[in-house]
Amino acid sequence: METKGETMRTLKTMNSFDGASAVPPVHTEKEFMGLEEKYGAANYHPLPLVIARARGAWVQDPSGNRYLDMLSSYSALNQGHRHPRIIAALKAQADRVTLTSRAFHNDQLGPFLEQLSELSGFDMILPMNTGAEAVETGIKACRKWAYSVKGVEPGKAEIITAADNFHGRTTTIVGFSTEAQYQDGFGPFTPGFKNVPFGDADALEAAITPNTAAFLVEPIQAEGGIIIPPAGYFQRVRELCTEHNVLLFMDEIQTGLGRTGRFLACEHEGVRPDCISLGKALGGGVYPVSAFLADKEVMDVFSPGDHGSTFGGNPMGAAVARAALDVIKDEGLAARAERLGTQVMNRLSKASSSVVEDVRGRGLLIGIEIKKEVGPARPFCEALMKRGLLCKETHAQVIRLAPPLNIDEDDLGWAVDEILEVLG
């Protein structure tokens, strides 16, 4: 007899995969996982699942078992898996030109930059590939601005960051992480950074000096456990940065592009940063695209030769990003995230569970914190996987929920039913 979960998966996804009778895989799922373990570095601890096909909010393993994706590749799939408009853009551009480098112009980059500028409200964009590259680009821009515009003495610029931050994995970025594992064995680290507690505007004010170039911060600490700062925090941060001529640099790589119920998460507080980094869903889940955005005063610090990327701004990525942005706008994904997120939060918050410490979130970025005395969150993620839901733990105790923003409303309701059953 099918369980409720199996019934939902069968009915909701019966014909949702193109070419369901494709050629059988050459390996079993166990063999696929074994190849990764044998030839790949052990820098991840994935759930024991192999994904072979995907569409919308659903994925399928080589045996044909289907699962509802409640992670969205860490918010890189806000538009869902293989959105038809994004795939069409990818295929069409692949038939024209894929790479030119920035030694030449191409016919996709300019229109992409204009579109993103109009949607975000920032004057200028510097395109890159990965989120970490976008953050590194912003660090360089903020430092150079400090020297060339603010008048900081050469070599003295400082950037303030928030404790429990996550901005990427480069050596510079992990150097200002407060997570011990991210630093262990990778030093020495780049100087010029200091940490303050997230959500503490007084600590930020005390840390600012005449040499402070920028405050780099996430609107919501997604990787840190879906941590939302106190109301009014960012208004005070904005005031402090303006008062002391410090750039407010917000990392919107996981929180931007509709995820929290606004195009940018900073809009919830009515705050406009001086610069931001974007990535993940900017590539529509099919191609790595990221960007550093700022107004002309900041971006004009760059001259030819100061910074670059062979693939950054390539025509393939630009064409995909244009389609990805169109989908977010045309399908009203930000408003949808706000509406559905409110429903999920209401159900989870009102439920009684002896294992849950807290439920917090904004839009469709939600964290369920498991009590420490109960144990870590991973066993709950494994239990949900067996029921057909794919979630992942973050910071050991938190189950992160971040489904595609175009997830079917009934599917999302079923997912919450299953989560509530697993959490007791």
Q: What residues are annotated to the active site?
A: 166, 251, 280
Residue that has been written with the tokens 């100061």 in this structure: 306
What tokens does 225 get? 């456990």
Q: Which residues contact 276 (CB under 8 A, 6 or more apart)?
A: 120, 122, 249, 250, 251, 252, 256, 264, 266, 292, 293, 294
CA-based diameter of the chain, in Å? 73
What tokens does 116 get? 């993103």
Report the alpha-carbon distance of residue 96 to residue 326 in Å, rounded: 21
Q: Is residue 308 helix, strand or coil? A: coil
Report the alpha-carbon distance of residue 66 to residue 23 in Å, rounded: 18
Q: Which residues contact 98 (CB under 8 A, 6 or more apart)?
A: 314, 315, 316
Report the alpha-carbon distance of residue 172 to residue 299 in Å, rounded: 21
What tokens does 370 get? 């498991």
Residue that has been written with the tokens 């709950």 in this structure: 380
Q: Is residue 362 helix, strand or coil? A: strand
Judging by beta carbons within 10 Å of its beta carbon (0-12, 13-18, 19+), is residue 373 exposed, middle or buried? Answer: exposed
What tokens does 206 get? 């005390």
Q: What is the DSSP string of 7-60?
A: HHHHHHHTT-STTTTPPPPSS-HHHHHHHHHHHS-S-----S----EEEBTEEE
Query: How open is the CA angle 399-33-387, to the nearest 5 degrees?
Result: 40
